[in-house]
Amino acid sequence: MKTFKREVAVSLLLWLVYIVEVKDVQVIEVLVWPIFSFAAAAFGFDQYAKLQRKSPQSSNGGRTERSSQRTGREDQQPDDWYDK
């Protein structure tokens, strides 16, 4: 189901551009915060929803638990990049 939040936000921003050209500064001061707040919320909630829909990947890269455990050899190798 489409809610048209982003489309309404874009149309409000375009309307604000028109108002800036035509109306007084006091009207713009009243309208700028609600319009930008709605636009930020509309696009922000959309991004958040898209991030939530992504399938969560396991932290071990698809390996089994046993194979993802560290071996003793990793700790024995020097970190050459860290000394530079």
Residue found under tokens 């399938």: 55
Report the pLDDT value the prediction gives residue 40, as an integer from 0 to 100: 93
Q: Is residue 74 part of a domain?
A: no
In order along its 84 residues, the chain shows pLDDT tens digits of: 778 889 999 999 999 999 999 988 999 999 999 999 999 999 998 888 888 888 566 555 555 556 555 555 555 556 566 555
Q: Is residue 28 part of a domain?
A: yes
Domain count for the chain, please give it.
1
Report the pLDDT value the prediction gives residue 70, as an integer from 0 to 100: 58
Q: Is residue 36 part of a domain?
A: yes
Distance of CA 30 to the CA centre of its chain: 27
Q: Is residue 67 part of a domain?
A: no
Work out the angle at residue 46's Cα, subtended by the Cα atoms of residues 43 and 51, and round it to the nearest 5 degrees. Answer: 125
Based on its alpha-carbon atoms, the radius of gyration of the chain, rounded to whole angstroms, reads 25
Report the pLDDT value the prediction gives residue 74, as an integer from 0 to 100: 57
Residue 28 belongs to what domain range? 1-52
Q: Is residue 43 part of a domain?
A: yes
